[in-house]
Amino acid sequence: MAVDESGRPYAHPLYDTLDHFPGLSLATTSLDRLLSWSATNSLWIFPMATSCCAIEFMTSAANRVDIDQMGAVIRPTPRHCDVMVVAGTITVKMAPRVKKLWEQMPEPKWCIAMGSCAISGDFYRDIYSVIPGIDTVVPVDVYIPGCPPNADQVLVGLKRLQEKVELHRRGLVPARDGRPEHDKMIDPAIGRVTDADRDASTTEQQLAASRDLGLGGNSRRASDTPSSRQGGVDEEAT
Amino acid sequence: MGSSTSHGAAPPPPAPTRDVRPLRMRVNPFLDIDQYDPEADLMALNMGPQHPSTHGVFRIKLFIDGEVVVKAVPYPGYLHRGVEKLCEKLTFAQLVPIVDKHDYVAPMTNEQAIVRVVEEALKIEVPRRARVLRTILAELQRIASHLLWLGTFTLDIGGTIGGGASVMMYTFRERELILDLFEMLTGARFHYNTHTPGGNRHDVPVGWPERVKKVCDVIAARLPEYTAACTDNDVFDLRSRGVGVIDAATALELGLSGPNLRASGVDHDLRRDAPYHAYDEVGVNVAVATDGDCWARYIVRMAEMEESLRIVRLLIDDIPQGPITALKPVKLHTQIKVPAGQHYAAIDTPRGELGTYLIGGGAEKGAAAFRLKIRPPSLHAMAALPWILPGNTVSDVVAILGSLDPIMGEVDR
């Protein structure tokens, strides 16, 4: 029976067929190494670029710091890409779109939160229209701190992600987090530093605002009724 | 190829005549299409909010008839961060790193706008050394901002494969030189936090003026390369000349400012008409073009870069000695207090007139603003889109949007 580097059996029925031929298990092991190597070194990036960090992300794709040397290609469509780089502040109005674009990406997929706004909301975490970090919407694999991070720090973050992808293919990293998922948001993965001034209900309000926005997403369409289609956006939000 | 004299050929359609009435007498394009023309059988095309050519998160709904845009309705607000509300909670010294993030391509001029309204309210006389340094920083920032604009604009109209990416690589090469100068002065590539009410926070380091002069020489030597890549390029000419024309009356009525206004033939520049910093010492030759199309906006920005180089070279040789800040170092930033009253100050940023309207006397008897309103130039440039997009093709929408140089952080705030 064909196994991969971590000893797990292959799930694909083609490998069971190949297993009947002598010597091919060795070939599939080498094939798996080849696949791991290529998956690690050809991460295509979908730039979810909204604000300041987008300019620095462009700089990382320009000539002084070249992200192409990591094998990364920037494609502006989610269906071609493996990695979503969230660069910039995500507002309540934008969060359902980010979620929708994340759902359009094929598995396996990864997410990098670039900059302090995408990590925790930073200055704007107490503001009514900004969500406190992108990991309340999509699961994040690598955090790149900074406001904004320098262009070379993007390469460091991508290097960390490559290591994680390699470990994941060997089965050394546990499965993706199973945090409870609401309609549009999930509970944050890491704890938040809270101010003394910050009202405890602010987080709940931000979560509720995004959850009740009622825009886009497959979950809304499933529960959609013909009567609710007649109203405008404001009526759907209630 | 059929000739125009062949029998049975339909006569060419008449050229669309421009509506020359004032804006208030035309049909409001912001209305929804149903209320606008119920008989129309048009296709609605959503562009954005995630689109590589909208310069941020901007959504515009295009109603198209074949390839031609009939009506365009913009929907901003995908980057609304509630900054004006946040500014009512913070003290004036804390505002500077917040307003850095409005126009994230030109943070230096944002800081100057916010500290200038506080200085006008408190009637602080800024030392001449700080004023000269602010002028140099503003002009260097203008060059860096226009370089980034040129790179993204050519990327918009040329595409990655069509040669636009080459110009972007060239412009980012020179932009990095200016960011290095800022990093040497303030320690940050972005979001400098170097201005403070009354002066500047970082003094000129040793060897900085010499490096500025070297960078100016390098950029002056490389500006002809952009001329060779863009002005002499037939594709660039075809995509930009005569596209997205804004006449002078419409531009004034919409409140355009900066290079977008000057490209329409209106000779207006706050650096010359209401001088601040040290602009009255150097004088500013304002670049004006008359066509009002994408080509004119490109020509105006290229001329502004050369003018900025002239101002920087004029001032960098003798930066006056003396203190860099008028106030004594404040121990608590709550010591800066603005009494109740209305104050307004505006400066000319790379994108146009950035005004700040402040009502003092906020929290703790004036330690914060009661109300702070920012008048962003990009918002008014975006407001021009419904008036100039109809009649253009879908591919020209990207060129017109890019030529207006919008920054979404400034539009939505």
Q: Where are the extended beta strands (E) located within A10-56?
A: 44-49
Closest CA to B101 of B196, B192, B202: B192
List all residues 6 or more positions away from A181 whose beta carbon is below 8 Å from its beta carbon. Answer: none
Question: Best mutation site among B89, B95, B101, B171 for testing chain A: the one with the most A CBs within 10 Å?
Answer: B101
Quickly list DSSP for B166-184.
HHHHHHHHHHHHHHHHHHH
Question: Do the bridges between strand A73-74 and strand A44-49 make them parallel or antiparallel, or are there none, so unpaired?
Answer: parallel
Closest CA to B203 of B92, B320, B314, B115: B320
Which one of B56, B81, B190 has the shortest CB-CB distance to A127?
Answer: B81
- Give the mean pLDDT of chain B: 83
> What pLDDT score does B22 carry?
65
* Residue A116 pLDDT exceeds 50: yes
For residue B81, give both structure tokens.
Answer: 């961060």
CA distance A134 to chain B (A): 14
Yes or no, beta carbons of B191 and A148 under 8 Å apart:
yes
Q: Which residues of A touch B85 (CB under 8 A)?
A: 127-128
Name residues of chain B where pLDDT drops below 50.
1-6, 38-39
Say how many CB pairs under 8 Å bridge A and B.
85
Q: Which residues of A touch B190 (CB under 8 A)?
A: 52, 55-56, 147-148
Predicted confidence band of residue A219 (pLDDT cuts 50, 70, 90): very low
Question: Best mutation site among B47, B57, B364 for testing chain A: the one with the most A CBs within 10 Å?
Answer: B57
> What pLDDT score does A132 carry?
79
Q: Are B111 and B193 in contact (CB under 8 A)?
A: yes
Closest CA to B186 of B141, B145, B143: B141
Q: Which residues of A touch B148 (CB under 8 A)?
A: 55
Which one of B83, B173, B190 has the shortest CB-CB distance to A63?
Answer: B173
> What pLDDT score does A226 carry?
41
Residues of A with CB under 8 A from a CB of B: 47-52, 54-56, 58-59, 62-64, 76, 88-89, 91, 93-94, 97, 101, 123-124, 126-130, 147-148, 150
Q: Which residues of B touch A88 (CB under 8 A)?
A: 79
DSSP B30: T
> What pLDDT score does B347 carry?
92
Which one of A59, A94, A128 has the shortest CB-CB distance to B49?
Answer: A94
Tell me the sheet residues that pair with B91. Answer: B368
For B73, B148, B324, the CA distances from B403, given in Å and listed in that order, are: 18, 12, 38
Distance in angstroms between the alpha carbons of the first and the last residue of chain B:
52
**B178-194 b/e (C-beta count within 10 Å ≥ 16 → b):** bbebbeebbebbbbbbb
Q: Could you tell me the strand order of the sheet in which B342-349 lies?
A: B342-349, B352-359, B371-375
Enumerate the domain spans of chain B: 21-75, 83-375
- Give the mean pLDDT of chain A: 73
Predicted confidence band of residue A185 (pLDDT cuts 50, 70, 90): low
Yes or no, beta carbons of B79 and A91 under 8 Å apart:
yes
Task: Render pLDDT for A31-82 as a digit per residue (tens, 0 to 9).
Answer: 778 888 888 888 899 988 888 888 889 888 888 888 888 888 888 888 888 8
Q: Which residues of B touch A209 (CB under 8 A)?
A: none
User: Helix and strand tally (H, E) in chain A?
Assistant: 10, 5
> What pLDDT score does A112 carry?
92
Fold for domain B83-375?
Cytochrome-c3 Hydrogenase; chain B (1.10.645)
Question: Do the bridges between strand A110-114 and strand A142-144 make them parallel or antiparallel, or are there none, so unpaired?
Answer: parallel
CATH no. of A30-216: 3.40.50.12280
> What pLDDT score does A230 carry?
38
List all residues 6 or more positions away from A14 whose beta carbon is below 8 Å from its beta carbon. Answer: none
Q: Which residues of B touch A91 (CB under 8 A)?
A: 78-81
CA distance B57 to chain A (A): 6
Q: Which residues of A touch B57 (CB under 8 A)?
A: 50, 94
Yes or no, beta carbons of A123 and B86 under 8 Å apart:
yes
Q: Which residues of B touch A97 (CB under 8 A)?
A: 49-50, 78
CA distance B104 to chain A (A): 5
Question: Best mutation site among B79, B108, B152, B179 for testing chain A: the one with the most A CBs within 10 Å?
Answer: B79
